[in-house]
Amino acid sequence: MSDVKGIRNHFSLQILRFFMHLVGMWPVKNMREQLISDILLFYIAMVVILALMIETLDFYYSWGDLHAISYNAPTTITVAIEVLKLTKFMVNRSEVMSFNAYTEKTFWKQTYSPEEYQILNKCNRQSLKIVATHIFLMMCVVWMNLSIAIVESVGKNMSDRTLPFNLYFNLPFAETPYYEAAFVFESAAAMGVGICTTSFAGFLCTTNLYAAAQFKILQRKIEMTCYNNATGIVRTEYSARNNSPSADWWTLNPVIGLDKTDQTNFAKDIGKNENFYLSRLEVANKKNITADNARFENKNKETFALLRDCIIQHQRLIHYMERVENLFSTIMLAQALGSILEICFSGFQILLGVGNSIMRTTLSVQFLIAAMVQLLLFSWSSHEIIIESQEIAEAAYRACWYGLEYTDEGKAFRQSLLIIIARARKPCILTVGKFAPMSLDTFTSVFNTSISYFTILRQVNEEGMEE
């Protein structure tokens, strides 16, 4: 039984499927699943739009109050980004489903050797840790928003009860049953935004990390392409050996079937029966060369087949990452810009925590950490793609190309490796709206920009307090 394993049951992939099912973006098998998927997508779209309406109105009526705007801005920006992501996915829903089906069929349903499975298993652990952390933080933010309204309403009159998010409609939302109905709708909207946030960020992170693992597997395959030829084939130079005068030439070309004693006798009798033994040696050497040539040709076919498969896999991965880029380029631009403001305003609210309740300050801290982790999901996973796709060139150089024969076949193989190296020097890159590569450098730039805006915001606040 072959020692191969699959990765369909990796827990990180199960989480990805679950959340993509929740937003109606996973391939379906029948009409029943299609109906359920459409209903889920419609529900998510409605609650996210409801959240955008609530936060936009709150932002509008808070205009002019720096403290109120800074408290409202992180939530409003998050909702706006998730609406953009959901819209992008809805417009390209067929492409998203086709992409997911292709990913599962091409990569996740395949079987892998123990060494390859070890690479993918490490990827599973990495993805699980960071995605689970992000899910936990986002759910903490959602539940903290809901908990603040509940805790602050305890012990107050019905007319003084507060909702998780302010509503500006001409209805008595502090009274029963309007309060309960509004609370349920706002809770559904908050959960819907939380699901979208975790789904799309986790989707990109998991996809990128598993694609990076595929690049690692490809590196290993490229390194092993010419292993057999480099270690197992040494061609016999028949004509050169026969034409070179040497007292020990018969030790270089031993006759098949003769032991050491026979070889010694053969050397003594060589002068007497030179023509006979030379003809016998020639036949034996021809047999050796014919056998070596046959083995050499078979090894060459195997080697070139391995290299061909590696080139096809490399092209497949390049095309795969181009699809990811087309789907997420605009989203990553919105995420980078939004993260700047989220980190800035959340940090500003933490600075003003003296005048807020402990729970609201805790909410700002959670929002700050969640915003940074979410940006890290995008930047770190994209950075892994850049690194591992570039490592293909190093893997091609590490292959045992120097052990190949100096023949037309060996020359063609080396030229193919040079082409792979030249192509791999241009890494696969996911961009921030086609402007800049998404990488850990981008994460650092966004964080530094957020600190700069935070400093400006603090100065404006101090000047306002002095006036």
| Local confidence pLDDT in tens for the 467 residues of the chain | 456 677 888 999 999 999 999 999 999 989 999 999 999 999 999 999 999 999 999 888 888 888 888 888 899 999 999 999 999 999 999 999 999 999 999 999 888 888 899 999 999 999 999 999 999 999 999 999 899 888 888 777 777 788 888 888 888 888 888 888 999 999 999 999 999 999 999 999 999 999 999 999 999 999 888 765 554 433 333 233 334 433 333 333 444 344 445 545 544 444 444 444 445 445 444 444 454 555 555 666 677 788 888 999 999 999 999 999 999 999 999 999 999 999 999 988 888 765 567 888 888 899 999 999 999 999 999 999 999 999 999 999 888 877 777 777 778 888 888 999 999 999 999 999 999 999 999 999 999 999 898 888 888 877 766 65
Query: How far is 418 from 257, CA to CA, in rounded Å?
Result: 44
Q: Are 13 and 108 in contact (CB under 8 A)?
A: yes
pLDDT, residue 300, reads: 63
Number of residues that this document lists for the chain: 467
Residue 7: closest CA among 99, 88, 122, 87: 122
pLDDT, residue 252, reads: 38
Question: What is the helix, strand, coil percentage profile of the chain, to 5?
Answer: 80, 0, 20
Query: How far is 113 from 135, CA to CA, in rounded Å?
Result: 32
Q: Are 104 and 29 in contact (CB under 8 A)?
A: no
Query: How far is 290 from 146, CA to CA, in rounded Å?
Result: 81
Query: How far is 161 from 183, CA to CA, in rounded Å?
Result: 11
Query: How far is 219 from 211, CA to CA, in rounded Å?
Result: 13
pLDDT, residue 6, reads: 77
Q: Are 237 and 407 in contact (CB under 8 A)?
A: no
Query: How far is 153 from 168, CA to CA, in rounded Å?
Result: 19
Matching residue, tokens 């961009």: 431
Q: Are 20 and 26 in contact (CB under 8 A)?
A: yes
DSSP per residue over 150-196, as a string?
HHHHTTS-GGG---SS---SSS-TTSTTHHHHHHHHHHHHHHHHHHH
How many other CB atoms are there within 10 angstroms of residue 277's CB atom? 16
The tokens describing 85, both together, are: 């992501």
Query: How far is 81 from 95, CA to CA, in rounded Å?
Result: 20
Farthest-apart Cα atoms in the chain, separation? 125
At 431, phi and psi to the nearest 5?
Answer: -105, 160
Query: How far is 197 from 448, CA to CA, in rounded Å?
Result: 23
Between the CA of residue 332 and those of 34, 73, 92, 379, what are the distances in Å? 29, 19, 16, 9
> Quick one: 458 exposed, middle or buried, by C-beta within 10 A (0-12, 13-18, 19+)?
middle
pLDDT, residue 297, reads: 56
User: Domain extents for the chain?
Assistant: 5-466
pLDDT, residue 281, reads: 41
Between the CA of residue 406 and those of 41, 304, 409, 418, what are the distances in Å? 61, 15, 8, 16
3-state DSSP call for residue 65?
Answer: coil
Query: How far is 376 from 447, CA to CA, in rounded Å?
Result: 11
